Amino acid sequence: MSAVLEVENLTIDLPPGADRAHAVEDVSFALKPEEILCIVGESGSGKSMTAQAVMGLLPPLVRISGGAVRLEGVDLLGRSEADLRDVRGRRVAMIFQEPMTALNPLMRVGDQIAEVLRFHGTGMDKAARRRRTAELLEAVGLPEPELLRHSYPFRLSGGQRQRVMIAMALALEPAVLIADEPTTALDVTTQAQILALIKKIQAERHMAVLFITHDFGVVAEIADRVAVMQHGRVVEIGPAEQVLNAPQHAYTRRLIAAVPKLIPPAPRPVDAAAIPVLAASGLVKTYAARGGGFFGRGRTVQAVKDVAFEIRRGETLGLVGESGSGKSTVGRLVVRLLDPDGGAVRVDGIDIAGLRRRALQPYRRRVQMVFQDPFASLNPRRKVGKIIADGPVAQGMKRAEAEAKARELLRLVGLDPGATERYPHEFSGGQRQRIGIARALALEPEILVADEPVSALDVSVQEQILALLDEIRVRLRLAMLFITHDLRVAAQICDRIAVMRRGEIVETGPTAELFAAPRHAYTRELLAAVPGRHWTAPSLQTPLSSSTFSPPPLAGEG
Amino acid sequence: MKDFWKRYSRNRGAVVGLAVLALVIVASLAAPLLFPASPWDMVGTPFQHPFQGDQLLGTDTLGRDVLAGIVYGARVSLMVGVVSTLAAVLLGIALGAVAGYHGGVVDDAVMRFTEFFQTIPSFVFAVVLVAIFRPSIQSIVVAIAIVSWPPVARLVRGEFLSLRSREFVQAAVVTGQSTGTIILREILPNALSPIIVLASLMVATAILLESSISFLGLGDPNLMSWGYMIGASRTVIRTAWWMSVFPGLAIMVTVLAINLIGEGLNDALNPRLARRGRA
């Protein structure tokens, strides 16, 4: 069967001064009708750029310098904007990562879909367009299309918005659907639904789908064929079965080896007799949305309801749940970034939940936090050494002593001690996360709260950071509260897991038990939604260990 | 620093502005050398046209040198502009930082206080203050500072509100750093760029305010100033245009130069916004 979309030797130049010359270099692949081709790669691999080139949506300053993009035999490169406009939507449609920003917030969703029909000269009259819109909304599984048509995007959930985007993409029955990380911003249960929907629609309408993702679980779930990209090149392409289970290229092997397995490792022996160093009980936090100025009463949202757990030294408790489940709020209550409205947080038996600033100071040292976003968690205007030393200095250590300690800690987390003199922007995401860990460790805490510490990182870096966290947990006998939405990560690093939903812990148990025999319906739902749960990454060569680190090249003067 | 200068100099208007301002500063510093006599002294016949007699820009109704007045007036204008802006910025940062950092009731209280000042038309308020204090250079500076701080406080509050929820600030809280340290060391340096840009534009506004106050005759009676010169010669503007036109030009050129500098600073300090604007 001839390909519906062919990309041949595509090369896209980056503007001079970028860290490499080409965003995409000599990329070729063919998309056959009725197949799902996944392009998978880490950030900066050029996978999104490839999709944007097909749609003619490249950002200014990057330029296509060679190759061809043929849609149904016609080259799209170098075509006028008017020609492209005709093709877009009618023959190729695209869905984006952020359903929040991809829809016009000021327009009813029905009108946005009807607009596609209107602009492409389908010759439909208003009533026909309305019928078609309702049809499409029904096809993507949205309830009550007639009512939903009149809603503004803000009234819809993320999953519903993504369904609207898909309906819009389907409006003109395109031959090719390009999906750029369409489920990355969604919760795992919603993600499972959207993936199933894309698969169903693709089969029903005989479309070809180009699916861009960084997640091998999603690939295993949906792909017929897989193309793996690294540094702007396709390093491996082949049937999903083969790429996932018998990868040939070294890079693919490394990526797949880094995917955390859903099967928990054998449980570690825990000292059951040890007294918990951290014990939370009856935690309650209610957010009051402020409104109506001085006297108004805002809406209240109960983010955390009666949460209780305990952690022993040397043990990791995973707190898993979807967005809005209150798991991050619990983390923030434990480190007292938020003040609980009720309940107790006991550190070595002493309740710190109600302590005032001064009384709290000594406990600050004992409970530390690693944050989610490595780019937002370091002050861009302060040198790394100072960032790490600030904590100990605030606790009364001498500055020189604290900075010496910072160098030592950098070595512990696998960075060059010379990093103290540099600014955060000179480091990659993974390195910054190491700095964040060093900062937390500087105070020699007994309890470490890690709030999604790897969710912003690429899979290979994620693996290194997880290994590092596990290593220091053992070495320093830390009690760790590990907050995550990713059950694969939780399976690998946690001794016990607590599942949260709508502010409550619905189930707690040892990791292996919880994965093998989930008791609560919601836990079962979560586990069933993990993408690629039927696929177990093959055991390949030993992956990178956290110690293989080379310090980054020194940046120029500036 | 090199990068900063490169981005700044990409905006040509800003470079011109900087050159003009440098010229004004040099002239005002060199005033006693250029015109050893007091600008209040009578040096020639009154109503002398410009570009004809000994006085380049002519003389005023009392035979005083217009150019000398402009050069000495520059000192007053620049001094008032800079000092009152500094005072307003410090006050604005202090209040804005407290409101933005603490939020809640503190924020409400401070912002209502700020709005109280913003509801009074600033020029009228400044004139009233000067009249109450009795006209002098100090009272003018104080009055201008008092009417100019609210926008700074609002800006700083906004920056602090958004920066305070950033993870690096939370990390500082968790490591037990004091509120003062967090405000000064973690948040303020990251909020500085827009403050600098706003301050540069406020200097221009302050110069205009001072000129307006002096124009109304409420200036410091002992100091020559541009606004006073225009005010004093407005009755004879049809017969002796040069007495008000040249000081007027001085005000316009200086204010324009400072505004251009402000724009250049904006480009240099917020490089991403600037590039998009020019694309």
Q: Decide: helix, strand or coil at residue A9.
A: strand
Which of B172, B174, B279 is closest, CB to CB, to A335?
B174
Residues 6+ apart with CB under 8 A from A503: A302, A303, A304, A305, A307, A325, A326, A329
pLDDT at B143: 95
Mutate to test the interface with A, among B168, B177, B188 (most CBs of A within 10 A): B168
Structure tokens that stand for A125 in this block: 């009259």
Instruction: Report which of A558, A557, A556 is spatially closest to residue A19, judged by C-alpha positions.
Output: A556
- Segment A201-214 shows an average pLDDT of 92
Mutate to test the interface with B, among A379, A441, A483 (most CBs of B within 10 A): A379
pLDDT at A554: 39
- Segment A223-227 shows an average pLDDT of 95
CA dist A401 → A112, A303, A417, B130 (Å): 62, 41, 14, 54
The pTM (predicted TM-score) of the whole model is 0.84
Res. A56 pLDDT band, cuts 50 70 90: confident
pLDDT in tens, A91-135: 999 998 887 788 898 999 999 999 888 888 777 888 899 999 998
> Given a cut of 60, is residue A553 above it in pLDDT?
no
**Are A390 and B173 inside 8 Å of each other by CB?**
no
Which of B173, B178, B185 is closest, CB to CB, to A337?
B173
Percent with pLDDT over 70 in chain A: 94
Q: Where are the beta strands (DSSP E) in A193-341?
A: 208-213, 225-230, 233-239, 278-288, 300-311, 316-320
Angle at A489 between CA A484 and CA A492, to 5 degrees: 130
**Which residues in chain B show pLDDT less than 50?**
274-279
CA dist B68 → B36, B224, B232, B243, B257 (Å): 9, 9, 15, 12, 21
pLDDT at A528: 92
d(CA B61, CA B64): 7
**Are A378 and B2 inside 8 Å of each other by CB?**
no
**Are B176 and A394 inside 8 Å of each other by CB?**
yes
Question: In a 10 Å sphere around its CB, with 0-12 CB exposed, 13-18 middle and 19+ buried, how is residue A45 labelled?
Answer: buried
- Segment A455-468 shows an average pLDDT of 90
Distance from CA of A370 to the nearest CA of B (A): 8
DSSP β-bridge partners for residue A498: A319, A508
Q: Decide: helix, strand or coil at residue A303.
A: strand
pLDDT at A390: 94
pLDDT at A558: 31
Q: How many CB pairs under 8 A join A and B?
A: 68
**Are A558 and B173 inside 8 Å of each other by CB?**
no
Percent with pLDDT over 90 in chain A: 54
pLDDT in tens, A473-486: 988 899 999 999 99
Which of B3, B108, B177 is closest, CB to CB, to A390?
B177
Instruction: Report which of A99, A303, A94 is spatially closest to residue A190, judged by C-alpha positions.
Output: A99
- State which residue of chain B sits closest to A371, comparing Cα positions: B167
d(CA A389, CA A436): 12
d(CA A201, CA A166): 10
- Segment A490-497 shows an average pLDDT of 94
pLDDT at B8: 87
Which of A364, A376, A436 is closest, CB to CB, to B166?
A376
Which of A336, A364, A380 is closest, CB to CB, to B175?
A364
Contact A347, A401 (CB under 8 A): no
Structure tokens that stand for B204 in this block: 């221009």
pLDDT in tens, A369-384: 999 998 899 999 899 9
Q: Decide: helix, strand or coil at residue B157.
A: helix
A334: which chain B residues are within 8 Å (Cβ-Cβ)? none
> Given a cut of 50, is residue A549 above it in pLDDT?
no
Which of A337, A365, A376 is closest, CB to CB, to B176?
A365
pLDDT in tens, A231-276: 999 999 999 999 999 999 999 999 999 999 888 888 877 766 778 8
Long-range residue pairs from A475-479, CB within 8 A, at least 24 positions apart, any chain? A476/A441, A476/A444, A477/A313, A477/A314, A477/A446, A478/A313, A478/A314, A478/A445, A478/A446, A478/A447, A478/A448, A479/A276, A479/A277, A479/A278, A479/A311, A479/A312, A479/A313, A479/A314, A479/A315, A479/A316, A479/A317, A479/A446, A479/A447, A479/A448
Residues 6+ apart with CB under 8 A from A550: none
**Are A373 and B178 inside 8 Å of each other by CB?**
no
Q: Does B174 touch chain A (CB under 8 A)?
A: yes
Helix (H) or strand (E) holding A367: strand A367-370
Q: Does B193 touch chain A (CB under 8 A)?
A: no
**Are A394 and B177 inside 8 Å of each other by CB?**
yes
d(CA A490, CA A508): 13
Res. A297 pLDDT band, cuts 50 70 90: low
Higher pLDDT, B162 or A1: B162
Res. A358 pLDDT band, cuts 50 70 90: confident
pLDDT in tens, A57-66: 888 888 888 8
